[in-house]
Amino acid sequence: MSALKPAASIVAAPAKLAQQLGIQFQNPQLLDMAVRHRSAGNCNNERLEFLGDAILNLVIADRLYALHSAASEGELSRWRASLVREESLARIARSINLGDYLVLGSGELKSGGFRRDSILADALEAAIGAVYLDQGFEAAKAVLGRLFEPLLANLPDAASLKDPKTRLQEWLQAERRDLPTYEVTGTWGQAHQQVFEVTCRLPDRSAETVGRGSSRRKAEQSAAERMLARLTGAAEPLDGAVE
């Protein structure tokens, strides 16, 4: 039995998660640690998450490089970013019911932290870090290959993955216009559910748009998407449509 004391009851034992990952851990405590969120105490998955993130980026870069020999550096980078972003990791985490294994503090448990994208994504990275420490790089690479196979087989067109700020910048440069500025014009909500408001302005003051999101980056992207839509005559996205 693990020496780690859970902060809240676990819905499913980590041993079942190991089976889903296809790994028989020599040191099961590594996986026990991987599913412990920082709200559960000082013994948590943050260090394993750090390690897993590095392994994840290397493995995905390696797979993309091998699968798409004619792709440019920019295309490979956009594909990798789409695969390792929080939303993609959370989707994979849900496919293996990772939320069922999370150990959370009482506050996160009550607020539904086991469903939150950020917590699920971090736990998936931590699990990969645990596999690496227990079984080595090749085992971690094999697990990631199985988990990401459906996404790697159905990649979107790389050009469609350019973020709104990049697309807005390219449009303005093609029109020989100055680039916009972004300013945080409001924040509200509790720390774990904060909302940011950002205003995007053109230097000539001919237009400005407001975007909102759960981080400054997401709010900037939302504002940029609205600005691009306004400049090109397209329909502006609804609130929350751009993250």
List, by residue number, the catalytic residues.
Answer: 53, 125
CA distance 141 to 155: 19
CA distance 17 to 93: 11
CB atoms within 10 A of CB 101: 26
Under the phi-then-psi rule, with left for phi > 0, alpha for psi from -120 to 50, and beta for the rest, what region is 240?
A: left
Q: Radius of gyration of the chain from Cα atoms? A: 21
CA distance 96 to 39: 22
Distances (CA, A) of 177 to 205, 210, 215: 12, 20, 28
Strand order in the sheet with 195-201: 181-188, 195-201, 208-213
